[in-house]
Amino acid sequence: MAMAIPAPAGPSLDAPGDSELIVRARSGDLRAREVLARRYREPAYLLALQLLGDPEEARDLAQDCLLRFFLKLDRFDADRPVLPWLRRIVRNGAIDLIRRRKVRRADSLDSSGPEGEAVEVLDLRADTEGDALDRERQRCVWACLQQLSPAHREIVVLRDYQDLSYEQIADVLGVPVGTVMSRLHRARNALRTLVLERIPELALGAAARGGE
Amino acid sequence: MSARHPIDPTMLTGFIDGVLTQGDRQRVAVHLETCEECRRTVEEMRMIRDVARSTPFRTLTDDQWSEAPRSSLSRWARNAGWALLALWLVATIVLITVLPDQDVDPLLGRVMIWGAVAGWLALFASAALDRYATARTDVYRAVKK
């Protein structure tokens, strides 16, 4: 028996494509703006959080980048994908903030902050003992990541946390694709050294896995 | 590259990510069969990458998104304001309860008054900065105009 399904009251959150939403938002459709903002605020926030390590700074940066997107909407090519553009401006904004943070620290001689482990940004709920071990490793790798130089940190974030391809990373960083692999290798080596200092058993685990 | 490691070490990263050409991948695979050091490097890097990929991050709720954005200057002004007012309150309590019969040094009195005023001004500045940031990041501002 066929059932009558009531039609949704407004436009679906996920159905319309970006170009359609951008065109509608340009003509003053507030709903389209809201859908765009909801769609892209989380990717922008997560990238900012992973680059900066500070939830409040990350939220402010994500909001700032979305604002820039909406202010440029009239000139934005509706057929152009939003996410690569957004990643670039989030990354550039994060670099500016890190530079300013360095100047402030130099002025105040304050060494505490997001580089430490006090700011909790990971969702570390663990249901089992295995989960607890995984969470401990995740926390450790994250803490070591905060100790890398900004250039090393950003490339590890883009590849290993954001799971971007080498081409996408080259686009975000504005470097040739060939540079990505060598830079990533140096960054991963630096991270590996720091992680092994904290959890030497990772080396044993890797050796056991390699021998399988 | 060296006699011991006849491959470019950066190729290990390309090998982990599966971006090498078939020829390069085979060269690395052959080298890994005989080189314990490079094999360990690959496994450790792979484990760290897997840990990173599986890391869950806290996301923001709708309420947190709608909170007024605060600049670092605003946070600094707010903290300084509350610190000054707390100091003023402690100093006042000490003067009233512990040293009720003592004459207050006029300089100390002036410092206390100006400290309290500075505290209130810092809190006011923080609130003003928050209002400015909220107005600036209102995505509907351009439409409202």
Domain of residue A111, CATH code: 1.10.1740.10
Last residue of a domain, which of A72, A92, A118? A118
Q: How far is A159 from chain B (nearest CA, A)?
A: 9
Q: Is A181 on the interface with B (CB under 8 A)?
A: yes
Q: How far is A190 from chain B (nearest CA, A)?
A: 10
> Which tokens sit at A200?
């030497």
In a domain, A64, yes or no: yes
A74 and A132, same domain (yes or no): no
The number of residues in chain B equals 145
Chain centroid to Cα A192, Å, comes to 21
Range of lowest pLDDT (A76-80, A174-178, B48-52): A76-80
Q: Is A50 on the interface with B (CB under 8 A)?
A: yes
pLDDT at A111: 43
In a domain, A108, yes or no: yes
Structural domain total, chain A? 2
In a domain, A10, yes or no: no
In a domain, A5, yes or no: no
Average of per-residue pLDDT across B41-64: 91
Q: How far is B50 from chain A (nearest CA, A)?
A: 8
A26 and A89, same domain (yes or no): yes
CA atoms within 13 A on the CB side of A166: 18
CA atoms within 13 A on the CB side of B117: 6
Query: Which phi and psi angles does A122 have, rounded to 5°?
Result: -90, 150
A94 and A80, same domain (yes or no): yes
d(CA A53, CA A146): 7
Closest Cβ–Cβ partner in B9, B45, B60 for A59: B60
pLDDT at A101: 78
d(CA A5, CA A1): 12
Residue-wise pLDDT for A139-184, tens only, equals: 999 999 999 999 999 999 999 999 999 999 999 999 999 899 999 9
d(CA B97, CA A208): 69
> Which tokens sit at A175?
């470097």
**Residues of chain B contacting A, Cβ within 8 Å:** 9-14, 17, 19, 39-49, 51-60, 64-65, 67, 69-72, 75, 133, 136-137, 139-140, 142-143
The more confidently predicted of residues A181 and A123 is A181
The residue whose two tokens read 């006011």 is B124
A199 and A162, same domain (yes or no): yes
A101 and A87, same domain (yes or no): yes
pLDDT at B53: 93
**Strand extents, DSSP E, chain A:** none
Model confidence at A3: pLDDT above 50: no
pLDDT at B1: 59
Last residue of a domain, which of A118, A151, A179? A118
Average of per-residue pLDDT across A70-86: 88
Position A8 confidence tier, pLDDT thresholds 50, 70, 90:
very low
A141 and A170, same domain (yes or no): yes
pLDDT at A128: 66
The more confidently predicted of residues B50 and A208 is B50
Average of per-residue pLDDT across B54-76: 79
**B17-45: string of b/e by CB count within 10 Å (b at 16+)?**
bebbeeeeeebbeebbeebeebbbbbbbb
Model confidence at B143: pLDDT above 50: no
pLDDT at A115: 46
A47 and A96, same domain (yes or no): yes
**pTM (two decimals):** 0.71
The more confidently predicted of residues A16 and B30 is B30
Residue-wise pLDDT for A100-118, tens only, equals: 877 666 655 444 444 444 4
A144 and A113, same domain (yes or no): no
Closest Cβ–Cβ partner in B40, B64, B137 for A64: B137
pLDDT at B13: 96
In a domain, A2, yes or no: no
pLDDT at B14: 95
Neighbouring residues of A76: CB distance < 8 A, sequence distance ≥ 6: A22, A69, A85
Query: Which phi and psi angles does B57 have, rounded to 5°?
Result: -110, 150
In a domain, A3, yes or no: no
The more confidently predicted of residues A186 and B68 is A186
> Which tokens sit at A158?
């883009």
Average of per-residue pLDDT across A48-73: 89
A113 and A164, same domain (yes or no): no
**Nearest to A131, CA basis, from B92, B2, B55:** B55
d(CA A86, CA B12): 31
In a domain, A9, yes or no: no
In a domain, A102, yes or no: yes
What does the DSSP 8-state code read for residue B57?
A: B
CATH code of the domain in which A133 resides? 1.10.10.10
Last residue of a domain, which of A69, A88, A118? A118
The more confidently predicted of residues B144 and A67 is A67
Neighbouring residues of B66: CB distance < 8 A, sequence distance ≥ 6: none
Task: State the residue range of the domain holding A20.
Answer: 15-118
**Nearest to B10, CA basis, from B2, B1, A174:** B1
Chain centroid to Cα B94, Å, comes to 37
Average pLDDT, chain B: 84
d(CA B106, CA B4): 80
First-residue to last-residue Cα distance in chain B: 63
pLDDT at A78: 85
Residue-wise pLDDT for B78-103, tens only, equals: 999 999 999 999 888 888 887 777 77
A136 and A111, same domain (yes or no): no
A164 and A176, same domain (yes or no): yes
A114 and A129, same domain (yes or no): no
Torsion, Cα of B20, B24, B25, B30 (10° steps): -160
pLDDT at B130: 79
